[in-house]
Amino acid sequence: MLILASTSPYRRQLLERLRLPFQCVGPGTDERPRPAEPPADLAPRLAAAKAAAVAASRPDAWVIGSDQCADLEGRILGKPGGREAAIAQLAAASGRTVDFHTAVCLRRGDRVLAAADLTRVRFRRLDAAEIARYVDAERPYDCAGSFKCEGLGIALFEAIETRDPTALVGLPLIALTGLLREAGHAVP
């Protein structure tokens, strides 16, 4: 049994690519950063916490926890939740580099396997009109950093530097497939 400890449609869609049967279970984890917690530490802590929360009630299952943190020079960019916050995030990112820390944790009972990825997104200089057009077209209100790189958001960037393009969407499949193989799953 494989369980994705998430209610994210983006993570579910990514995991479906592996063609393994799985269930989704919401972990109910508090995702707030701790006081003075560095952005690079947040994603691994939350990925492990999500996996642990679901694994506590399902000791027979392999549970996947994942989390992502957008880091703009030490400032965490969360999910904007609405238009004005999305516009403000993109204006802040304009012409700058945002680091996306994405972590995945695979857990069954006391056995824990984990990996992390760093993706750097270099935004081109964006003017207010193009930010507004993008936000109105794609409504990325549930995405850290206020964009969807798998959609129109790709037009906002100068470059993306990553080992794993799926990490930027929220679940690093290259790392996860390695963890699954290590746990005994046949992938593919």
Please, are residues 63 and 71 in contact by the beta-carbon 8 Å criterion? no
Q: Which 8-state DSSP code applies to residue 70? A: E
| Token reading at 34 | 């701790």
Counts for the chain of helices (H) and strands (E), in that order: 5, 7
Distance, CA of 33 to CA of 41 (rounded, Å): 9
Q: Which of 30, 41, 60, 67 is catalytic?
A: 67
Write the secondary structure of 17-55 as one string of H (helix), E (strand) and C (coil): CCCCCCEECCCCCCCCCCCCCCHHHHHHHHHHHHHHHHH
Neighbouring CB atoms inside 10 A of 163's CB total 11
Q: Specify whether 127 is catalytic.
A: no
Distance, CA of 167 to CA of 178 (rounded, Å): 14
Tell me the catalytic residues.
67
